[in-house]
Amino acid sequence: MYARVIGTGSFLPGNPVSNNDLAARGIDTNDEWIVTRTGIRSRYLAESGTNSSELGLIAAQRALAMAGVAAAELDLIIVATSTPDFIFPSTACLIQGRLGNKGAAAFDVQAVCSGFTYALGIAEKFIASGSHKKALVIGAEVFSRILDWNDRGTCVLFGDGAGAVVLEAAERPGILATAMHADGSQNGILNVPGQVCGGQVTGDPFLRMDGQAVFKFAVRVLAEIAEEVCAKSGIKAADVDWLIPHQANIRIIDATGKKLGIERERVIVTVDRHGNTSAASVPLALDEAVRDGRIQRGHKVLLEGVGGGFTWGAALLEF
C-alpha cells in the first residue's frame, strides 16, 4: 500500500505587510537591507487573537475540497507547528473538532521548520502500514507571536500562515521516499530558550538565531537529504521536475538548488511574498504551484525543510 497526495490547500491571514510597512512601525530596517540579505519583500501577520488552529482549519478545508474528501472520512490528522494554540489540547485536536471529525487519530509534531516534512513522513508510514486510509497533514504557524520586534536580524524574516495536504491509500506510489534527521548538539544556533513555569515566563521567550551558522548548516543538510531521498527512489536530484525547499532565505534556496544541479526555473519560491512561515512554508509553496498549474500529473516534486533542533527532512512525491 502506498500514499498519494490528492488535495492541497493554504491560507495567509490579512493583507501583506511590506518591508516599508515594518520600517514605518519603528523597526530599524529598510527594504533594501532586507531584500539584499534575504529576498523577502513582504509577509503576512495574523491579527491579535488569531491562532494557528484558525489558519490551519481554513487550509485544511481547502485541501479537503480539492480532494473531494469529507472530514468524516479522515482517520488521521497531524499538525506540524511550533506555535500551538495551547500547551494542550493539541492544535490537531482543535482543528479536528472544528472540522466535525470524530474518531481519527490526531496529534501535533514539533520539528520547527522541518515539521511538515516530518509530519508527511509519519502520515505516509501510517498509510503504508495499512492501518489508515485517509490522512490530513497540516503545517500552521503564527511565528509573529514569538518574535522580538526590536531585533531586526530576526523579526523581519518571519510570517504567519498555513498549508495542508490530504493523503489517501493507493496501489500506485505517490510518496516515493521520505527521510528525517536531527542533530540536537546544534540546538543553540536557532531556538526560543524560554518557557512558562509556575505561571511565569522563565528564560528568553523570543526566537534567537545565529544567522551565519544556520546558513552553513542548512545548505549542507538540505543538499544531503535531497540526494538521500532521490537515491532511495533510484533517480538523480537534478532529474526532479520541481524543488520546493523550506522558504527561509533566497540565498539558502539558491545555494541548495545550485548544489543539486536544479535550475532556478524549477525551484518554487514564495519567500519573497510570504517570508519564513516555518512548518507552513513548504505546503504553502506546494499549494500555490499545484493551483497555478506548474505541478502536473506525473511530475516528481522534491520537498525539504530544515529547522531548529536542528532537524531536517525531505519527501519525494510523484503527482
Question: Which positions are catalytic?
Answer: 113, 246, 276
In whole angstroms, what is the distance from residue 64 CA to residue 62 CA?
5
Grid cell for residue 217 = 548548516
What DSSP character marks residue 74?
Answer: -
Query: What's the half-sphere exposure (Cβ side, CA atoms, 13 Å) at 188?
Result: 1
- Dihedrals φ, ψ of 60, to 5°? -65, -45
Q: Which residues contact 254 (CB under 8 A, 6 or more apart)?
A: 264
Torsion angle, alpha carbons of 76, 81, 85, 90, to 10: 30
In whole angstroms, what is the distance from residue 82 CA to residue 105 CA?
20
In whole angstroms, what is the distance from residue 11 CA to residue 305 CA?
19
Closest CA to 106 of 154, 68, 155, 57: 57
> CA quadruple 91, 92, 94, 99: dihedral positive or negative?
positive
In whole angstroms, what is the distance from residue 13 CA to residue 212 CA?
30
Judging by DSSP bridges, how do beta strands 134-142 and 76-80 pair with one another? parallel
Question: b or e along 228-256 (b: 16 or more beta carbons within 10 Å of the residue's beta carbon)?
Answer: bbbeebebebeebbbbbbbbbbbebbbbb
